Copies of this chain bind each other. A is one copy, B any other.
């Protein structure tokens, strides 16, 4: 197929007529599809139902460190849950705090604590004129929402397949004391599915921030969320690299089982240096008497250990793979060579990132919506919801079935074509 840019006006008009007819037909089908969020599908949740049998009224409710998990106490989580979460992140259990059901909440609380109380004795951010965060883009809208909520200025940093543009990161961090943090999804990034190269991780660990209270927010959300047996990304342990580089306190790492067990009822954890833990503890012990240790124990009894988790994630991959493949095969078949879009083919994670022609993303999302398919809002992958090129669209294949995913992608490519043709006709 010829690239759209090579078509003359008459060819474009003819194509437009065909596409509009196809679109009207698609609209007539009354579709109701949701690709908006990285929500696990029903069969994936069903796969984890054994979790609910892991504890019953006859269970021993003591953790390995002798705590009655039903009672108060155990501020930083039970020992065996620390081990499990440490294994996911590839860190030492001594550096782990196990919390409630959402790593997003730990991140919110970490920013919030810095705003009200500062970081290890630094000036609380609420008393500073200006606080800035670096935001690799495209990225995760809920990260950006947290920093926006606290009035933190966000600076876009372009992503590459090896991670954020590190020249830019190094420069901004070193020259501006107002830069206090950076949002990272280092493995199977949201939305591109890129994983940071070893060089990127090492450059992160060797940053020379002007601000002593600069922290890397390392959201390792998809650490064990591979799609394939034979193609798995691995990243370096940022905590270890920071320590080697003489920057032991520079990182807060986060992970959860939200996309392993149940999204609403998993367990989440944070890993960081002893000194940071000491600092965090001062606030944590005021905020809670302890997180839900029964659910922590339930998870350990069910998954047993890291091997158990990996086996579970293999089944998870078997459910996700056909959904990703449905999207990718249709994108290839329908769009390859047309010059109206590019997309990523990740080895894991929850998303595919689509780059439309400049100025087309909003229109494509609107067209899809009109025909019954909800996508993540265009712009959502950028701070303040502003994609400067209006070109990025996040595709979230996890919730629909593979059949629905195929149907959805057929509609998507149709909308991409139609909007692109209109754009070229305008231009």
Residues of A within 8 A of B (CB): 37, 39-40, 42, 45, 48-53, 55-59, 61, 68-74, 100-102, 104-105, 108-109, 112, 115-117, 124, 126-127, 142, 145-146, 149-150, 258, 262-265, 283, 286-295
Contact = CB atoms under 8 A, between A and B. Distances in A.
A55 B52 contact: yes
A133 B51 CA distance: 44
Given A52-B57, A264-B74, A288 B68 contact: no
A199 to B, nearest CB: 33
Contacts of A124: 126
A126 to B, nearest CB: 4
A288 B149 contact: no
Contact of A150 (B37, B56, B116, B146): B116
- Chain B CB count within 10 A is highest, among A50, A146, A265, A288, for A265
Given A52-B57, A53-B56, A294 B264 contact: yes
11 contacts: A70-B265, A71-B263, A72-B258, A73-B264, A105-B288, A109-B287, A115-B116, A142-B289, A149-B283, A292-B292, A292-B295
B289 A265 contact: no
Nearest to A127: B126
Contact of A104 (B68, B126, B288): B288
A59 B283 CA distance: 38
Given A52-B55, A55-B52, A292 B101 contact: yes
A375 to B, nearest CB: 17
User: 10 closest A-B pairs (Cβ-Cβ)?
Assistant: A265-B294, A49-B57, A70-B262, A126-B126, A108-B287, A45-B70, A149-B286, A101-B292, A72-B263, A265-B292
A282 B124 CA distance: 23
Contacts of A51: 57
Contacts of A40: 71
A264 B116 contact: no
A117 B111 CA distance: 14
B39 A71 contact: yes
Contacts of A58: 49
A101 B100 contact: yes
A264 B63 CA distance: 13
B45 A105 contact: no
A36 to B, nearest CB: 11
A149 B70 CA distance: 27
Contacts of A50: 57
Contacts of A258: 72
A55 B298 CA distance: 13
Nearest to A287: B108
Given A104-B288, A108-B286, A115-B116, A70 B294 contact: no
Nearest to A55: B52
A292 to B, nearest CB: 5
Contacts of A108: 286-288
Contacts of A74: 264
B146 A286 contact: yes
A61 B42 CA distance: 11
Contact of A101 (B37, B126, B291): B291
Contacts of A55: 52
Given A39-B72, A42-B68, 19 more contacts: A37-B72, A39-B73, A40-B71, A52-B56, A53-B57, A56-B56, A70-B265, A72-B264, A101-B291, A104-B287, A104-B288, A115-B126, A116-B150, A264-B293, A264-B294, A265-B292, A265-B295, A292-B295, A295-B295
A237 to B, nearest CB: 27
Contacts of A126: 115-116, 124, 126-127
A22 B157 CA distance: 74
